[in-house]
A and B are shown apart, each in its own frame.
Chain A
Amino acid sequence: MGDLRDWCISRQLWWGHQIPVFYCDDCEHEWASLKDAEHECPKCASKNIHQDPDVLDTWFSSALWPFSTLGWGNGDVEMDKLFTSQDMKDFYPNSLLITGFDILFFCVARMMMMGESFMGELPFNHIYLHALVRDENGQKMSKSKGNVIDPLDMVEKYSADILRFTLAISAAQGRDIRMSTDKLEQNRNFTNKLYNAAKFLQMNVDTFHDLKGFCVESALGRYMLSRLNVATAEVRSCMDEYRFNDAATAVYRFIWNEFCDWGIELSKADKGAIVELGAIFKESMKLLHPFMPFITEYLYHELSGTSLENADSVMIMKYPYKTKKRLKDEARFEIIMDVIISIRRAKVLVDLANQKIEKAYVKIDNISHEEQELMKPFILKLAKVDIVEFTASKVENSVSDISQKCETFIPTESIDLAPIINRLSKQDEKLQKEIDKLSGMLNNERFVANAPEDVLAKNRELLADAQSKQKKVIEQLNSLKN
């Protein structure tokens, strides 16, 4: 706040706060008054006086806003309706101001001067300055460019929830926001995901308890609860630092990638856990509520068997606050998910990606029998296997996959290999033909001598590529034929 110049506060307008300065036309005395009207000069008692016709710059009254709205200088006009005597103590300085860069000096600097001057304290604890909203190509929106996104149209076309969430998840500090209908579409998918998750839960259980006072006992329930707690910790710490985009991302990731992609899928192997997942989902609606207040309210009540008309709103319920991570429950499910991914990968190798297979072996170091039994149903269901066996050593004659926490094996005797071998052999032949053709050209001295350098480089590249592909196909064939 250095290098300040005088501020011209008078405006030659009619609409505004008329300057409360009066002039005596006789003795030229000039005075300011709190009264609406003055009738005589306090110095010479002349009735020949007039008020300054100018009004105050608009920013004069805005500059007082952080404390004038708390009752400062209002007298008792509409006290206890528009403000209370407690307000100044509770709400000054204001906790936060959110505004755009564009009015930083015009508004914010003047609020600071007035606050400091009249209250003896700056008017805000924090100021959050947000950036500009641009179009998807980073262009400023303008009518002449025809790239304006009208927020009210978007509310109509998508929903207030979707528009709000899209703005929030894009609001990285210090960076302009790029807005596009693609982003709005993507977040519409998110609301569909929420809706479908709730629908799945309710296909199994009619209504769900609140998480508070409810005992989550199943391994899956405990795992999901732990993940909710982790997300809660992240959302809270982001919100406390006004990192709106990170907070929105954290809740999005939990609900979509963890709860829907894994939690719901895993619950198909443990339907008893669904009653717990429902309570956890309801809690996640509270976590999401500030961003998407409407659909969260709706789904929360749907799953509770209540409706807003006859129950309290989510907006005055306690925000999720438990942040404890359950390491043991998390470690178990990290292994379960790793095994499922590993078997799925092995199945891709033998063209059985989406089909059920008879048997798979899993090799994990240091795992108790009890844990094996816990893991089995999830693996069977999600990896689509009839029998899963834990093994301490490699399994011969099998297709295998090595993952972070496990190795998995699909025994070749349990699958019909003929069509796979057939496909790989054909691939091998085709690659061989290509290799013959390319190496024929590259071994032809005249071709090499006459062809442009970039053509030669291209052909060499193609040859190396075909050779490495063939090598992999042959390796795969050999492992299957054994």
Chain B
Amino acid sequence: MSQKSYEPSTTEDTFYKIWEERDYFEVEGNKEIQEDAKNFSIMMPPPNVTGRLHIGHALTFTLQDIITRYKRMDGYKTLWQPGTDHAGIATQNVVEKQLLAEGTTKEEIGREEFLKRAWAWKEESAGIMTSQLRKMGVSPAWKRERFTMDEGLQKSVKEAFVHLYNQGLIVRGNYMVNWCTHDGALSDIEVEHEDHDGKFYHIKYPFADGSGFVEVATTRPETYFGDTAVMVHPDDARYKDIIGKKIRLPLTEREVAIIADEHVDMEFGTGVVKVTPAHDKNDYEVGKRHDLEFITVFDEKAF
């Protein structure tokens, strides 16, 4: 044994540098031992890393590296494809915060300038992330590192888009989405759910023929102007004979029908609910089932 004892911190950095410089991580890195018709490929799912590597990343990258190193030593022509994601909303928010700190906004500097700033931040953060990955000793083909918005991938995204568009698979239309008044549409993964104790509001809805009213219980009175039906459960004995009757909505004087749908919880509130297809996920489905009108009562800033 040499005189110096094993020092992980220095040895790990030294070895890593040598491995990478010798292109061992690349597809041809193990050329000498590659066997015919043995190929192995694994993608680094483009990590959306906006800060420090956490233990979940450490696990996933460790497992990917173990299988890659095993296959590489086992004579496979091996590709572990690295890359990073542009992380739309997360990145945009970081840059917007930077601008705010400088006392300006994206609207003030304009789209072009904003994108320049975002690219600069991307360069910085991707560098931090990949240097952290290197500390874990992982061996992806760094020379092939991609970015979901690099030139080649911009082309491929357009190619895919135009193809799907021309097939009629991409269309514009009204659709219920998670909406943020600042960021616009959000994906389900970007939404955090919180339970609130709501209040019940009881509203009397008069029948159009003047024969009385039904009492609706709702936690969302603000969407009243988007109501396009009133709904009861088909098995609810209390309301069996009013199904099909018309309601004349107070203020707007609009007439809507009383419909029956098993979606209604008879135990909840009065057992009579209002249906606002444009502003409630469940009502959206009901609206589609019963072919109801969709009336949007808020704009994109929630006014």
Select the stretch in A75-83, A220-228, A383-391, A461-469 that faces chain B. A75-83
Q: Does A447 contact B (CB under 8 A)?
A: no
Residues 7-45 of B contacting A (Cβ, < 8 Å): 8-9, 11-12, 14-15, 18-19, 22, 24, 29-30, 32-33, 39-43, 45
**A239 close to chain B: CB less than 8 A:** yes
User: How many of chain B's residues touch chain A, expressed as a range?
Assistant: 35 or more
Chain A positions within 8 Å of B177 at CB level: 8
Contacts of A215 in B (CB 8 A): none
| Chain B, interface SS category | helix
Q: How many residues of A contact B (CB 8 A)?
A: 110
Q: Are B42 and A164 in contact (CB under 8 A)?
A: no
Residue of B nearest to A321 (CB): B74
- CB of A60 within 8 Å of the partner chain: yes
- Does B294 sit within 8 A of A, measured CB to CB? no
Which of B18, B72, B83, B135 has a CB less than 8 Å from the CB of A69?
B83
* Stretch in B58-66, B193-201, B215-223, B238-246 touching the partner: B58-66
Interface positions, chain B 143-178, Cβ under 8 Å from A, are 143-144, 146, 148-149, 151-166, 170, 175, 177
Judge if B289 is at the interface, Cβ distance under 8 Å: no
Known pairs A133-B55, A316-B29; A75 contacts B72 (CB<8 A): no
Q: Is there an interface contact between A13 and B92, defined as CB atoms closer than 8 Å?
A: yes
Stretch from A95-103, A359-367, A400-408 contacting the other chain: A95-103
Q: Would A58 and B86 be within 8 Å (CB), given that A87-B79, A152-B53, A152-B135 are in contact?
A: yes
Determine the residue in chain B with the shortest Cβ distance to A77.
Answer: B152
Q: How many A-B contacts if CB must be within 8 Å? A: 318
Residues of B within 8 A of A114 (CB): 160
Contact present for A161 and B137 (CB under 8 Å):
yes
Question: Interface readout for B52-84 with A: 1 if CB under 8 Å, 0 if not?
Answer: 111111111011111101111111010101010
Q: How far is the CA of A114 from the CA of B18 in the complex (A)?
A: 38
Chain A residues with Cβ below 8 Å from B257 are: none
Q: Lowest 9 CB-CB distances: which A-B pairs, in order?
A: A12-B184, A73-B156, A159-B8, A73-B159, A74-B152, A151-B58, A91-B41, A319-B73, A290-B69
Q: List 30 A-B contacts (CB under 8 A).
A: A6-B175, A12-B185, A12-B300, A20-B162, A57-B88, A64-B157, A65-B83, A73-B155, A73-B156, A77-B155, A82-B146, A83-B144, A90-B77, A90-B79, A114-B160, A118-B160, A130-B63, A151-B57, A155-B136, A159-B8, A160-B137, A162-B8, A163-B136, A164-B136, A167-B58, A291-B66, A293-B139, A308-B18, A315-B73, A316-B33
Q: A residues within 8 Å of B by Cβ?
A: 6, 8-17, 19-21, 32-34, 54-62, 64-66, 68-75, 77-78, 81-83, 87, 90-92, 94-100, 102-103, 106-107, 114, 117-118, 128, 130, 132-133, 141, 148-152, 155-156, 158-164, 167-168, 171, 177, 179, 195, 198-199, 202, 239, 242, 244, 286, 289-291, 293-295, 297-298, 302, 308-309, 313, 315-319, 321
